[in-house]
Structure formats: structure tokens, C-alpha cells
A and B are shown apart, each in its own frame.
Chain A
């Protein structure tokens, strides 16, 4: 069974919101109608988004780290939002595990949004139906697009390549490997929703520079001090040789 999902690397995300805007752009002009905005250029603008990037500060100043945290529907493998839907508008596709809302069936009762612990669903106040990330279901299978572009808009747009996309049930996929080898984790594992989307943790990046890495030594013998060490201002072999 396939379970498509995103793997988001929190160590890489720079919080640029490119995924937010490209998601909005693709999905507001897509098959399912606009993602309505209100007061878009006025005071208190608000609207429907599938994807948001939040920022958290970890630690106490001055020893803090900034964590940018993209949040969208996690396409849970045990989605609590699906069984509660009284109309069957919310469903999980058997073939690829994407959780979708049928906008023609949804009555806008909001019950599913109550049943999602992540706040991943947003009601479109204009269309009065529930909306959420579709994993760009209308583009990942589009044979008119070059293969490279058959990926969610957010993944394509991320300038830092913090977002991976693939089948987490295929152990050899890029996403499975990333989860396995880089400590991929789930959000709020305590509820047993088994989110398909995973996150990769922050990692400590320390660069260890040794003094001899700063000084260029043409001749290892000089470095090992079998021959006199050259003066630091002396031209090196690279400087004098035309090669």
C-alpha cells in the first residue's frame, strides 16, 4: 500500500514562506475553486490556507535557536477527522493514503476540524466547506507535466529543499530513508493518529577547524616539520606556479 507524505527537515527550513505562497497560488487557481481571502489588502487580512509556517524560539536568550515550523495536514494513517464526518465528505484514499474533502458533499459542520488535533483544517468562509492540504493531488498525477514537476507545489518551491515527498511505505524511498536515518518523528504521537508526514529534527552543526587547516602547507614534509616550516607570508606553490 502506498502512503504518500511529506518529510520536512526542521534543520533546513529557513522560514521563507515560499511553500505557503506557492501552495496558495497552486490551490487557489486549481480544480477545487479559490481559497477565499477576506480583507486581503486591508486591516486584519484573513483567509484559507493549506499550509502555514510558524516560528518558535527555543531556549533562553542569548542561547536561543529559532525553529521554523511548516504545518499542513499530515495525512494521518489513522485520521480521526475521517470517521466523524457525517456526510462522508472527508475520506482517505485507499490507493495513496491522501486524506481529502469532497467539496460537493461537505455541509460545513466543522466537526472534522474539531476532531483534528493539529488544526490542519480550515473552513472556507466563502464556499462554506472544509478545506485542507490535498498533497496537490491534482498535479502529482498530471501526465501533462514533466515527471520532475509531478510533486506538490510546496516541495517544488522550497529554495532550501527542506521538503521531501514520497511514499513512506516503500522502505527504499527517499522519504523512508530520511525518516529512518535522520531520526524522523511524528507530531503529537500521544494521540495515535499516526501522521504520515514526518519531521526531521534539528541537528547540532559544529565545524571543527584545526589551525593547520587554516594554513596552507604545500609540502607535507614541511607540515610534519621534517623541513623548516615556511613563513606564513611566503608565497605558496599555487602562487608561484602557472600550472
Chain B
């Protein structure tokens, strides 16, 4: 497929936003069970929610560049019964709403107790929003990933690994970002988030590599023989019906050499996974946050390459019809 920058930014930014919120939620749940030396402070949560919201808004903004007719975007919410894209369009504002409420609660430090329980810490409004927001974050992850994973002839995408990767990669990037944020706002939480981000990154590396290996071994189900129904082993296309290219030649090819694709694959494995992981470990070992800053920056760039590759790698069966111009 031809990787569109709007969709690359959309998916990467949404991942950051969801991951950041999930990091805040994790800290809050740890604090509820008294597992943190010092619970996250309201100003930290507010800052985190603000950043998460900024990421999500950025993603939403990017998505409009993908539409030919953005003024009609409201219509996209109508077919949620059948379309994952429509479901995403509903899940995103719902999740943003939850993050926004979370931001309000912590910005105004208005956090009333919702459920009083004997022998257990009280359940606050913030915790309720965390629960709802977490569900919505996962719903959004699933919707976004299923847009791709549900297309069965894009065999590279049609696997549960696509969903798992979106969740783990988005989670890892958000946790790492939150670690950096914590180092500025509430330093005692830095290595809590740093450690968890390293853990998520290890998992994400595993599943991403698993999907790469799977895709390298894929055999395309459609061939020139099934595409035109002529069952002969030697078929060569002579013309594709247009000399100057068409939508079909622009939308479904990445237009880069195999070498470029290969470098991109190794490039993102190093920049989005290996280097940030190493830097995070270094930061935790030396107990200094500086390597985390570097890790976030390198990972952000690496994730853009990762997403570019995700699209470029998918080989659409319609390309069979567009092998030769004239």
C-alpha cells in the first residue's frame, strides 16, 4: 500500500495518547492498592491528561487530511454496525471525552468519593473515569487495528498480531513518554513508568518481530492465474489500460525499492525498539532521566518508520493487475 502521512501520524499519535492515559491509569490503580511509595499527584495527572489529549487531538487533526471531503466527516459515525472505521470514529471522541473529564477532575482537584467501602480505600471519581477511560482506550486500539486486520486480502494485516502490535506499541510509547513527563513533574514516578515501558517494549518487540517473520513467509493467495482466470504458468502483462498511471498505480504501491523497504525494516527495529529499550535500561541503572528524553525522541521517529513500513509492507492483490505499463 502507499503509506499516507495522515494515517501514519494518526495511528502513531493515537498510540501515544492512549498509552499515556493507560500509564496514568496504571499508576492510579497501583496507588489505589497502595503499591506506590507516593501516589501520583493531581498536577501530574492533569499534565499527563493534557498531553494525552494533545496527542489525540493531533491524531484527529491528521486524520482529516486523509479525507477527500472532510466537511462530511460526521457521516462516518453512521455505519458502526459493519465498519471498523466508523467504530473508530465513535470510539475516538468517546475516549477523548473520558480523558478530558480526567483532566478536569485533576486540574480543578475536584475528586469526590463515589463509593465508600469499609476496610478498603474509597473509590474516587478519578478512579471511575480511569476504569471507563481504560476500557475506551482498548476499544479504540481494537477499532484502529481492526480497520486493517479485518481486510482479509491484505494478508500481511489479516492477523491478530496486528491488534496486539497496535496495543503493545502504543502502550510502550505512551509509558515511555509518561516516564519523561514524570521526570519533570513528579520525579519519584519516573522509573516506575520507565520500568513498565521497558517491559512493554520487550513484549512489543517480540510480537512485532513475530508479525515480520509471519509476513516474510506469507504466500499470496491471489495470483495472476486466479486474477484473470487463465491457468497457464507463463503469463506476462503487456498493458494495464493506461499509460500515465491511475489511482490504482498510486494508491496501492509504496513506490520504493526492495532495498529501501529492507532498510526501513531494520531501521525501525533499531530506532523504535532496540535503542529506546537500551536507553531506558541505562536511565534506570544510572537513575538519571536524561537518556529517557533521548529514548522518546528516537522512538517517536522510529515509530513513524514502523508505521510507514506497516503500510508499505502490505501487498494488495489489485497490484497483480498493474505490473507493466505498456
Chain A residues packing against B (C-beta within 8 Å): 10, 17, 20, 39, 43-49, 52-60, 66-67, 69, 71, 80, 82-89, 105-111, 113-119, 121-123, 125, 127-129, 185-191, 199, 201-202
**Can you sample 25 A-B contacts with CB below 8 Å?**
A46-B244, A48-B247, A49-B241, A52-B246, A54-B241, A55-B237, A55-B239, A58-B232, A59-B234, A80-B153, A84-B85, A85-B79, A87-B72, A105-B75, A106-B68, A107-B68, A107-B76, A109-B67, A109-B76, A114-B1, A117-B222, A128-B68, A129-B68, A185-B229, A188-B222
Question: What is the bound-complex CA distance between A186 and B222, given in angstroms?
Answer: 13
Contact among B228, B242, B322 with A187 in the assembled complex (CB-CB below 8 Å): B228
Residue of A nearest to B88 (CB): A86
In the complex with contacts A69-B228, A83-B83, A199-B229, A60-B234 CB distance below 8 A: yes
With a 10 A CB-CB cut-off, give which of B67, B232, B241, B244 has the most chain A CB atoms: B241
Supply 19 further A-B pairs (C-beta < 8 A) apart from A67-B230, A123-B247.
A48-B247, A52-B240, A52-B242, A54-B241, A56-B228, A58-B234, A83-B79, A84-B85, A84-B150, A86-B86, A109-B68, A110-B66, A117-B316, A117-B317, A119-B321, A122-B248, A128-B69, A188-B227, A201-B230
Q: Does B252 lie at the interface of the complex (its beta carbon under 8 Å from any beta carbon of A)?
A: yes
Q: Does B196 lie at the interface of the complex (its beta carbon under 8 Å from any beta carbon of A)?
A: no
In the complex with contacts A54-B239, A129-B69, A188-B222, A122-B83 CB distance below 8 A: no
B247 A54 Cβ-Cβ under 8 A: no
Residues in A with CB closer than 8 Å to B286 are: none
With a 10 A CB-CB cut-off, give which of A84, A122, A128, A189 has the most chain B CB atoms: A84
Contact among B84, B226, B237, B251 with A54 in the assembled complex (CB-CB below 8 Å): B237
A86 B68 Cβ-Cβ under 8 A: no
Q: Nearest-CB distance from B281 to chain A (Å)?
A: 39
Q: Nearest-CB distance from B244 to chain A (Å)?
A: 4
Residue of B nearest to A66 (CB): B238
Q: Nearest-CB distance from B253 to chain A (Å)?
A: 11
In the complex with contacts A187-B229, A199-B229, A87-B321 CB distance below 8 A: no
Q: Nearest-CB distance from B81 to chain A (Å)?
A: 9
In the complex with contacts A20-B241, A46-B246, A107-B234 CB distance below 8 A: no
Q: Does B118 lie at the interface of the complex (its beta carbon under 8 Å from any beta carbon of A)?
A: no
In the complex with contacts A86-B86, A118-B318, A57-B238 CB distance below 8 A: yes
Chain B residues packing against A (C-beta within 8 Å): 1, 66-70, 72-73, 75-79, 82-86, 89, 147, 150-154, 221-222, 224, 226-230, 232, 234-248, 251-252, 316-319, 321-322
Q: Nearest-CB distance from A214 to chain B (Å)?
A: 34
Residues in A with CB closer than 8 Å to B77 are: 86
A119 B230 Cβ-Cβ under 8 A: no
Q: Nearest-CB distance from B159 to chain A (Å)?
A: 16
Q: Nearest-CB distance from A89 to chain B (Å)?
A: 8
A115 B242 Cβ-Cβ under 8 A: no
Question: What is the bound-complex CA distance between A185 and B227, given in angstroms?
Answer: 11
Residues in A with CB closer than 8 Å to B154 are: 114
Q: Nearest-CB distance from A38 to chain B (Å)?
A: 9
Residues in B with CB closer than 8 Å to A201 are: 229-230
B248 A119 Cβ-Cβ under 8 A: yes
Q: Nearest-CB distance from A133 to chain B (Å)?
A: 14
Contact among A66, A123, A127 with B251 in the assembled complex (CB-CB below 8 Å): A123
Contact among A56, A87, A129 with B236 in the assembled complex (CB-CB below 8 Å): A56
Question: What is the bound-complex CA distance between A44 and B232, given in angstroms?
Answer: 33
Residue of B nearest to A37 (CB): B244
B79 A87 Cβ-Cβ under 8 A: yes
Q: Nearest-CB distance from B140 to chain A (Å)?
A: 15
Question: What is the bound-complex CA distance between A106 and B226, given in angstroms?
Answer: 31
A107 B153 Cβ-Cβ under 8 A: no
Residues in A with CB closer than 8 Å to B316 are: 114, 117, 119
Q: Nearest-CB distance from B222 to chain A (Å)?
A: 5
Contact among B85, B153, B235, B246 with A49 in the assembled complex (CB-CB below 8 Å): B246
In the complex with contacts A83-B82, A108-B67, A190-B239 CB distance below 8 A: no
A84 B83 Cβ-Cβ under 8 A: yes
Residues in B with CB closer than 8 Å to A187 are: 226-229
Contact among A44, A55, A59 with B245 in the assembled complex (CB-CB below 8 Å): A44
B69 A119 Cβ-Cβ under 8 A: no
Q: Nearest-CB distance from A39 to chain B (Å)?
A: 7
A118 B321 Cβ-Cβ under 8 A: yes
Residue of A nearest to B232 (CB): A58
